[in-house]
């Protein structure tokens, strides 16, 4: 099964990661991974850090002549900003003369992390809790994503809301999704390409304008914003996942993957929350039969029934809380003096929902690849392809 680990501090020398369990024979290049890393760095509302970093992956092992060889794949992404942090993030020195951070930001990992590990310098927490870590996650998960694509399974995403700029009427968006779905199995990727044309990854241009205006306004006010994004998967066969054991449930695994992204505080599958307010007859996706082909009239379940894929597009939504680092201070405690003070500010994003949507696409790839391998698995791509056929 595919599993991975990342390491690295936000302002450390580099991010590193190992991906294990990829079958042999999957074509992949640094260029392919870098495209996803670039997408993660985009979006209106990002802070100054993204101007410093141009993430590029270095591949150390597990890939030969452009294909996976079944061995663990080791990757590295250098942090260019490290040059400015060498003293503050030194591995060897004893830290003399380096200012300690003692004021935790409400909403960030600073306080709980320091209490857990007994730190008197919050930098230790800040640098690992940071979503900079997701650059490596995107890199590793992109390899699993390529494996899925080579089997006709495509992942995409778009942003549904940023602050009060909310897509209320979905008709236009759903029509767009339907149009692409009818054409080919890569509908989800087509949607993502369409979303990439927008600075906030929104498909509805009138809401996009509102969202950008809102980010501008909120930035001026020293505040931050969150929002909701949708991740979709097309070309999914029926029968991936299982209902037989709690930890084999695909809906649970997908929700966990999305929830593991920093600042994601809500996940729904299909019309999860809206369905809860309706009658069963208004919710469940009725069957159709056309030329002996089984279909559904709707997809309110989001492509999963009994924690198993039902052949419809997988639809997942995630809610991101507003960024915790505010230029306009909140009430905080200085843990050194135990006095009530104003929270401290350091360079930060104002809104990172578009980037989070790209991360959302990535993190579900190993989950789906594992479900796929469980059903059609083998050690090489050729073996798997034959079984899937």
Q: Does 332 bind ligand FMN (CB under 6 A)?
A: no
- Build a one-symbol-per-residue string for 202-241: x at contacts with ligand FMN by CB under 6 A, - elsewhere: ----------------------------------------
Report the residue from 18, 33, 114, 129 that binds ligand FMN according to the rule CB under 6 A. 129
Report the residue from 167, 267, 352, 368 that binds ligand FMN according to the rule CB under 6 A. 352
Question: Which residue has 């024979």 as its token pair?
Answer: 25
CA distances from 139 to 40, 154, 259, 354, 363 (A): 10, 17, 18, 17, 10
Q: Does 348 bind ligand FMN (CB under 6 A)?
A: yes
Q: Does 125 bind ligand FMN (CB under 6 A)?
A: no
CA distances from 141 to 2, 109, 387 (A): 10, 24, 23
- Alpha-carbon gap, residue 82 to 88, rounded angstroms: 9
Residue ranges in the chain assigned as alpha helix (H)? 30-40, 49-52, 110-117, 123-129, 134-149, 171-183, 187-196, 205-220, 250-259, 272-275, 280-283, 353-376, 381-388
Radius of gyration of the chain (CA): 22
Minimum CB separation of residue 9 from ligand FMN in Å reads 13
- Build a one-symbol-per-residue string for 245-284: x at contacts with ligand FMN by CB under 6 A, - elsewhere: ----------------xxx---------------------
Q: Any idea of the CA torsion for 268, 189, 129, 255, to the nearest 10 degrees?
A: 20
Q: Does 106 bind ligand FMN (CB under 6 A)?
A: no
Report the residue from 21, 27, 29, 47 that binds ligand FMN according to the rule CB under 6 A. 47
Report the residue from 19, 28, 57, 131 that binds ligand FMN according to the rule CB under 6 A. 131
Cβ proximity to ligand FMN, 109 vs 315, nearer residue = 109
- Alpha-carbon gap, residue 83 to 194, rounded angstroms: 36
Cβ proximity to ligand FMN, 266 vs 378, nearer residue = 266
Minimum CB separation of residue 355 from ligand FMN in Å reads 4
Interacting residue ranges for ligand FMN, rule: CB under 6 A: 47, 108-109, 129-131, 134, 261-263, 323-325, 348-349, 352, 355-356, 359
């Amino acid at each position: 099964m595919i599993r991975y680990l990342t390491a690295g501090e936000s302002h450390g020398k580099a991010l590193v990661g190992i991906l294990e369990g990829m079958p042999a024979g999957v074509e992949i290049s640094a260029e392919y991974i870098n495209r996803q890393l670039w997408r993660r760095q985009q979006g209106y509302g990002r802070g100054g850090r993204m101007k410093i970093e141009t993430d590029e992956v270095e591949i150390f092992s597990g890939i030969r002549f452009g294909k996976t060889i079944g061995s663990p794949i080791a990757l590295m992404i250098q942090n260019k900003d490290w040059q400015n942090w060498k003293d503050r993030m030194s591995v060897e020195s004893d830290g003399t003369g380096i200012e300690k951070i003692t004021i935790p930001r409400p909403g960030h990992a600073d306080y709980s992390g320091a209490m857990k590990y007994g730190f008197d310098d919050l930098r230790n927490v800040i640098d690992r809790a940071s979503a900079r870590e997701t650059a490596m996650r995107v890199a590793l998960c992109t390899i699993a994503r390529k494996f899925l694509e080579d089997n006709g399974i495509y992942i995409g995403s778009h942003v549904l809301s940023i602050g009060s700029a909310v897509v209320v009427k979905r008709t236009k968006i759903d029509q767009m999704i339907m149009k692409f779905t009818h054409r080919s199995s890569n509908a989800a990727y087509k949607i993502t390409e369409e979303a990439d044309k927008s600075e906030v990854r929104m498909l509805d241009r009138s809401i996009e304008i509102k969202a950008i205006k809102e980010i501008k306004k909120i930035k001026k006010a020293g505040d931050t914003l969150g929002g909701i994004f949708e991740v979709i998967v097309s070309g999914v066969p029926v029968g991936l996942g299982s209902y037989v054991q709690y930890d084999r449930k695909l809906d649970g695994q997908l929700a966990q993957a999305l929830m593991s992204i920093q600042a994601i505080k809500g996940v729904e599958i299909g019309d999860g929350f809206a369905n809860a307010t309706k009658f069963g007859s208004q919710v469940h996706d009725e069957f159709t039969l056309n030329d002996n082909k089984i279909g559904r009239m709707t997809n309110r379940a989001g492509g999963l029934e009994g924690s198993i894929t039902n052949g419809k597009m997988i639809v997942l939504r995630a809610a991101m809380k507003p960024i915790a680092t505010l230029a306009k201070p909140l009430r905080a405690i200085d843990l050194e003096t135990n006095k009530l003070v104003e929270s401290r500010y350091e360079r930060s994003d104002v809104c990172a929902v578009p980037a989070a949507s790209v991360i959302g696409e990535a993190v579900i790839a190993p989950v789906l690849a594992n479900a796929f391998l469980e059903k059609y698995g083998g050690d090489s791509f050729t073996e798997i392809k034959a079984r899937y056929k």
